[in-house]
């Protein structure tokens, strides 16, 4: 089995590689070849050094998609994207990378299959940013996509293309709408959503973290481990059960910031909780108030996708996967 990961240097790409390194048959077949692609050359896990090719390549550059697809991977993960803030700040770059790059990949598969039959599994990282407020209390699987960012628009368009190209028999596509990933490993970043992770990750290692919103803010979460699980399952699952509606809102946990903090207290004690510094930020509060708070991800659950059901679990997973099992 030849697996290609486009966006292999990103957080999800690296986590997926760690999982495959630990469990090389996770995708159901022996991993005989691995092609790792990103705008910077991705690191190759040592266990895969003999079967891997790492490429620094911008998917939206001339000929890049054709070059990648000519090696005819069985499974293609497309995780690469310009993030939300940058896609909003740079209109042209966002559309070029997130829309044109993805379409170039899809069309390269179409061209490739003309030479010789070819039908790869194509797994696309989408986002709940395809939705835009106002929302119902729980967003169901049939709620419409009215994004309020260019990033969300680009993801929603790629979802439509993915479904049509799949219906046409060009590839076997699945769109994975990710919840906000929490606890995001690494240093605090400036993303408006960063605090959801910061207020847990930093106190767990004895550092202060800033909370810019009220405790009654609700949002939709899954751990990095669940996110990897979604992508692994998407490669293994029987796609004949999905039908033509190929883009799936992944399961997740709807929780209040206050519930995050209570879970932190239970797992790490009041000392950890005391490291959270409240610094209300009206800009962040206003951005976050437009985000989805809860989903009924029934279809994905019925198709076998799973996520956490409590913040205690999310915190324990972080401790196991990032902190060597202890705090």
Indicate which residues carry an active-site annotation: 151
DSSP per residue, 157-182: HHHHHHHHHHHTTS-EEEEEEE-EES
Rounded Cα distance between 50 and 104, Å, is: 29
Stretch that binds a second copy, among 63-71, 143-151, 194-202, 215-223 (CB under 8 A): 143-151
Locate 234 and state its tokens.
């998407």
Question: Binding to a second copy by residue 298, rule CB under 8 A?
Answer: no
CB 141, min distance to a second copy, A: 8
* Torsions phi, psi for 23 (to 5 deg): -140, 75
Question: Binding to a second copy by residue 244, rule CB under 8 A?
Answer: yes
Question: Binding to a second copy by residue 167, rule CB under 8 A?
Answer: yes
How many residues lie near a second copy (CB under 8 A)? 24
Question: Binding to a second copy by residue 91, rule CB under 8 A?
Answer: yes
> First vs last Cα of the chain: how many Å apart?
39
Of these, 160, 169, 205, 309, which contacts a second copy (CB under 8 A)? Answer: 160
* Torsions phi, psi for 219 (to 5 deg): -150, 180
CA 75 → CA 69, 120, 171, 231, distances in Å?
A: 11, 6, 10, 11
Question: Binding to a second copy by residue 164, rule CB under 8 A?
Answer: yes
Question: Binding to a second copy by residue 114, rule CB under 8 A?
Answer: no
Nearest to 38 by CA among 57, 18, 23: 57
CB 134, min distance to a second copy, A: 9
Question: Binding to a second copy by residue 144, rule CB under 8 A?
Answer: yes
Of these, 145, 193, 226, 293, which contacts a second copy (CB under 8 A)? Answer: 145
Question: Binding to a second copy by residue 203, rule CB under 8 A?
Answer: no
Rg value, the chain, Cα: 20
Question: Binding to a second copy by residue 93, rule CB under 8 A?
Answer: no
Of these, 157, 183, 211, 232, which contacts a second copy (CB under 8 A)? Answer: 157
* Torsions phi, psi for 73 (to 5 deg): -65, 150
Block residue for tokens 């799949």:
166
Rounded Cα distance between 192 and 210, Å, is: 12
Stretch that binds a second copy, among 55-63, 134-142, 194-202, 204-212 (CB under 8 A): 134-142
Question: Binding to a second copy by residue 81, rule CB under 8 A?
Answer: no
Binding site for a second copy (CB under 8 A): 91, 110, 132, 136, 141-148, 150, 153, 156-157, 160-161, 163-164, 167-168, 244-245
């Amino acid at each position: 089995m030849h697996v290609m990961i486009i966006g292999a240097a990103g957080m999800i790409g690296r986590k997926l590689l760690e999982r495959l390194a630990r469990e090389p048959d996770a995708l159901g077949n022996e991993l005989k070849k691995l092609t790792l692609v990103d705008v910077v050359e991705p690191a190759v896990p040592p266990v895969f050094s003999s079967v891997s090719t790492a490429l620094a390549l911008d998917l939206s550059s001339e000929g890049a998609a054709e070059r990648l697809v000519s090696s005819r991977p069985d499974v293609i993960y497309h995780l690469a994207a310009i993030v939300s803030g940058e896609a909003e700040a740079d209109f042209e770059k966002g559309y070029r990378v997130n829309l044109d790059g993805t379409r170039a990949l899809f069309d390269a598969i179409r061209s490739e299959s003309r030479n010789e039959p070819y039908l790869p599994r194509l797994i696309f990282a989408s986002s709940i940013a395809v939705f835009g407020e106002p929302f119902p209390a729980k967003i169901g699987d049939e709620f419409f996509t009215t994004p309020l960012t260019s990033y969300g628009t680009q993801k929603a368009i790629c979802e439509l293309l993915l479904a049509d190209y799949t219906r046409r028999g060009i590839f076997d596509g699945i769109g994975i709408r990710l919840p906000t990933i929490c606890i995001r490993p690494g240093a605090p970043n400036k993303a408006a959503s960063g605090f959801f992770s910061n207020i847990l990750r930093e106190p767990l290692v004895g550092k202060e973290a800033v909370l810019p919103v009220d405790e009654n803010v609700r949002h939709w979460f899954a751990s990095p481990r669940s996110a990897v699980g979604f992508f692994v399952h998407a490669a293994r699952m029987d796609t004949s059960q999905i039908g033509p509606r190929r883009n799936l809102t992944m399961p997740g946990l709807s929780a209040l910031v206050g519930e995050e903090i209570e879970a932190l207290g239970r797992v790490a004690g009041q000392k950890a909780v005391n490291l959270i510094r409240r610094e209300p930020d009206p800009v962040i509060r206003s951005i976050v108030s437009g985000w989805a708070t809860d989903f009924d991800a029934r279809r994905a659950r019925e198709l076998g996708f799973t996520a956490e059901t409590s913040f205690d679990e999310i915190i324990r997973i972080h401790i196991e996967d990032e902190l060597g099992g202890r705090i």
